[in-house]
A and B are shown apart, each in its own frame.
Chain A
């Protein structure tokens, strides 16, 4: 787990701009340079499980954004009140409550998504990214910064799972957001032309392969080396 962001002793100035350079960095850092999935290799479980199609992945991404931002905010607001000895269980209770809320709302307003995702939404509780941000950042920083930090991390997580889902749905089911792209493309080349889909992409193995390639491309660009 990266603790770089937390280690930097952040001295708050009252006059700091709403989107100062430092605050922008809180959001943009986790997108590439400190991405929770590709660099910190956290939250892999759900990245593999929900990414067979774009639509459930998008719902999952939004849920994670909500949970991380709200839990970062709540923990940051309570940071001086939370007893150190029980802080983990307090974080867990807050996260679990938020996740249950998301699940209940999905059940009421998007029942089909709820049926498809309910197990994985529940598993956001154990997503290391959430607890990781609470421990590493929210416990030691002011609420507004914590929101930005959570939002950044969640976005970093989201764009990766959406990218993985894009390729898995495209190659595995020949569609994007349920729109049968392969059928259209085949149509341009005449009746007999058929783009084959790859069953491997639908299985979790496909996610490993895409994720591996993604990490490879990213690291060859940023020159990041694990130490």
Chain B
């Protein structure tokens, strides 16, 4: 059966409109739920840098929210380590800062959120500082959170995520056994220079004696390089903030 052009065009238009309405309608309805899921996921990632993944997996969504609210306080700083509470008259909180969007700006103009992991029941006694990091992997963006102990030197834990690294290779940065390798490594050399922690090429060697090197991921050297660059960049950006915190804590120690 051969239809006329007019019929084909009318059919296509109606189909497009119906499908379009269906899609945009669903998207509108689901958007608030999706946003909540995204926020919860971010909170889980932040907490993942400071508490074991198994205990997060056991928590219900409400428990994660509650735990986050009671144990995490946050500030936003600029590259000079100064706290920022508003910009262009708009109030700024660490949770609303989009690290990915800031990544496109010059480092001098970026906002850097800091999530402070507090002792239970305390409002200012920090256990660890969780710093967001962001960079490029092999195929797409990668990001994560690095938790530093209060000496601002020892890594408490890390979580990494990625948008499109190769499954089984670069995507392993999300796996626990890779992330665990960062634990207790230090980012400053003995001379006090920021050297960060470098993931090495190749896999299977023991780097437990070297505080600035960790075992690599076989077949994912470019992703590993991306991770290294991301860590080094962002630790540098946070350096002024870290220096201030260190000064503060050493003063307290002297008193």
Residues of A within 8 A of B (CB): 49, 52, 81-86, 89-90, 93-94, 97, 100-101, 104-105, 107-109, 111-112, 115, 119, 202-204
Contact = CB atoms under 8 A, between A and B. Distances in A.
B169 to A, nearest CB: 8
Interface residues of B, number: 25
B65 interface: no
Contact of B16 (A82, A93, A115, A202): A93
Given A108-B34, A111-B37, A83 B11 contact: yes
Contacts, number: 59
B26 A101 contact: yes
Given A82-B11, A101-B26, A104-B34, A52 B168 contact: yes
A108 B30 contact: yes
26 contacts: A49-B167, A52-B167, A82-B11, A85-B3, A85-B8, A89-B12, A90-B11, A90-B12, A90-B15, A93-B16, A97-B19, A104-B27, A104-B30, A105-B26, A105-B30, A107-B30, A107-B37, A108-B33, A109-B33, A111-B38, A112-B41, A115-B41, A115-B161, A119-B164, A203-B168, A204-B168
A81 B34 contact: no
B23 A100 contact: yes
Nearest to A204: B168
A119 B164 CA distance: 9
A57 to B, nearest CB: 13
Interface SS, B side = helix
10 tightest A-B CB contacts, nearest first: A111-B37, A108-B33, A108-B30, A83-B3, A83-B8, A97-B19, A108-B34, A107-B34, A203-B168, A104-B30
Interface in B8-39: 8, 11-12, 15-16, 19, 22-23, 26-27, 30, 33-34, 37-38
A83 B41 contact: no
A94 B20 CA distance: 11
Given A83-B8, A119-B164, A202-B168, A104 B1 contact: no
A108 B37 CA distance: 6
Nearest to A82: B11
Contacts of A94: 19
Contacts of B41: 111-112, 115
A89 B8 CA distance: 12
B19 A93 contact: yes
A107 B19 CA distance: 20
B80 to A, nearest CB: 35
Nearest to B33: A108
A101 B29 CA distance: 12
B2 interface: yes
Contacts of B12: 86, 89-90
B233 to A, nearest CB: 24
